[in-house]
Structure 1
Amino acid sequence: MKKRIVIALGGNALGDTLEEQMIAVKSTAKAIVDLIEEGDEVIISHGNGPQVGMINSAMTEFHKTNMKYSICPMSVCVAMSQGYIGYDLQNAIREELLNRNINKGVATIITQVEVDERDKAFENPTKPIGAFMTKKEADSIVKEGKKVIEDSGRGYRRVIASPKPIRIVEIETIKALIENNQVVIACGGGGIPVISKGNHLKGVGAVVDKDYASAVLAKEINADCLVILTAVEKVAINFGKKDEQWLNEVNVNEMKLFLKSGYFAPGSMKPKVEAAIEFVESRKDRYSIITLLEKAKEGILGKTGTRIVNFSTKVKAD
Structure 2
Amino acid sequence: MKVLCALGGNALTSAEGRARPEDQIAAVTTAAGGIAELIAAGHQVVLTHGNGPQVGNLLVKNELAAAVVPPVPLDWCVAQTQATIGVILANALEKALADRGAPRPVTVLVTRALVRSDDPGLTEPNKPIGRYLPLAEAQLLIDHGEVWRDFGAKGWRRVVASPEPVEIVDAPAIRAMVDTDCVVVANGGGGVPVVADADGLLHGVEAVIDKDLGAALLAQAVEADVLLIATDVRHVLLGYGTSAERALTRTTVAELRGFAEAGEFGTGSMAPKVEAALRFVDRTGGRAAICSLDDIVPALAGDAGTLVTA
Query: Is this a same-fold pair by TM over 0.5?
Result: yes
Alpha-carbon distance in structure 2 between the residues aligned to 1:8 and 1:128: 22
Asked if structure 1 preserves the Cα contact closer than 8 Å seen for 2:108 and 2:184, the reply is yes
The equivalent residue for 1:280 is: 281
State the shift of 1:149 in Å: 6.4
For the structure 1 residues 19 and 158, does the alpha-carbon distance in structure 2 shift closer, same or farther, using more than 3 Å as the test?
Answer: farther
Report the AA paired with residue 9 of structure 1: L
2:10 aligns with: 12
1:26 to partner: Cα distance: 0.9
Distance 1:149-1:21 versus aligned 2 partners, 3 A rule: farther
Q: How does 1:224-263 map to 2 (within 5 A)?
A: 224-263=225-264
The one-character-per-residue Cα deviations of 1:96-143 (angstroms, maximum 9, x if unpaired) are 11122212100110000000121111244343433x55xxx4666665
Change in 2 beyond 3 A, CA 1:263/1:216: same
Question: Which residue of the other structure, out of 29, 40, 45, is the alignment partner of 1:37?
Answer: 40
CA distance in 1, matches of 2:210, 2:279: 14
- 3-state SS in 2 of match to 1:114: strand
**Contact preservation (8 Å) 1:112, 1:169:** yes
Equivalent pair of 1:49/1:128 in contact (CA under 8 Å): no
- Shift in alpha-carbon separation, 1:53–1:252, aligned structure 2, 3 A: same
1 CA distance for matches of 2:179 and 2:5?
17
CA distance in 1, matches of 2:150, 2:231: 23
Can you list the C-alpha shifts for 1:262-291, whole angstroms capped at 9, x where unaligned?
Answer: 11031411100111000001123x000011
Across the aligned residues of Structure 1 and Structure 2, the Cα RMSD in angstroms comes to: 2.1
Gaps of 5+ in 2: 14-18
Letter in 1 for 2:178: I
Residue of structure 2 equivalent to 1:316: none
State the SS of the aligned residue for 2:284: coil
Q: Is the Cα contact below 8 Å between 1:47 and 1:210 reproduced in 2?
A: yes
Structure 1 runs of 4+ aligned residues shifted over 4 Å read: 138-145, 155-158
- Gaps of at least 5 residues in structure 1 are 311-318
Show the counterpart of 2:65.
62
Structure 1 pair 276–201 and aligned structure 2 pair: CA distance change class (3 A):
same
Residues in 1 aligned to 2:215 and 2:205: alpha-carbon distance in whole angstroms: 19
Q: What is aligned with 1:314?
A: none
The one-letter code sitting in structure 2 at the alignment partner of 1:222 is E
% identical equivalent positions: 37
Change (3 A) 1:79 1:57: same
> Structure 1 residues 158 and 253 mapped into 2: Cα distance closer, same or farther (>3 Å)?
same
The answer to whether the 8 A contact 2:216-2:279 is kept is yes
For the structure 1 residues 295 and 149, does the alpha-carbon distance in structure 2 shift closer, same or farther, using more than 3 Å as the test?
Answer: farther
SS of structure 1 residue aligned to 2:251: strand
SS of 1:72's equivalent in the other structure is coil
Conserved 8 A contact 1:128-1:267: no
Indicate how the Cα distance of structure 1 residues 176 and 163 shifts in structure 2: closer, same or farther if over 3 A, else same. same
Aligned pair in 2 of structure 1 residues 95, 127: CA closer, same or farther (>3 Å)? farther
Instruction: Quote the Cα distance in structure 2 between the aligned partners of 1:248 and 1:201.
Output: 42
Q: Determine the C-alpha separation between the residues in 2 that align with 1:305 and 1:7.
A: 14
Q: Which residue of 22, 25, 40 maps to 2:25?
A: 22
- Judged with a 3 Å threshold, the aligned counterparts in structure 2 of structure 1 residues 174 and 295 are, in CA distance, closer, same or farther, namely same
Q: State how far apart, in whole Å, the 2-side matches of 1:213 and 1:264 are.
A: 19
More displaced, 205-214 or 140-149? 140-149
Aligned residues: 296
User: Counterparts of 1:45 and 1:129 in 2: how far apart (Å)?
Assistant: 20
Q: Does structure 2 retain, via aligned residues, the 8 Å contact 1:9–1:229? A: yes
Check the 8 A contact 2:148/2:156 in 1, yes or no: no
Shift of 1:74: 0.7
1:106 corresponds in structure 2 to: 106
Q: CA 1:171–1:298 in 2, change beyond 3 Å: closer, same or farther?
A: same
Corresponding residue number in structure 2 for 1:313: none
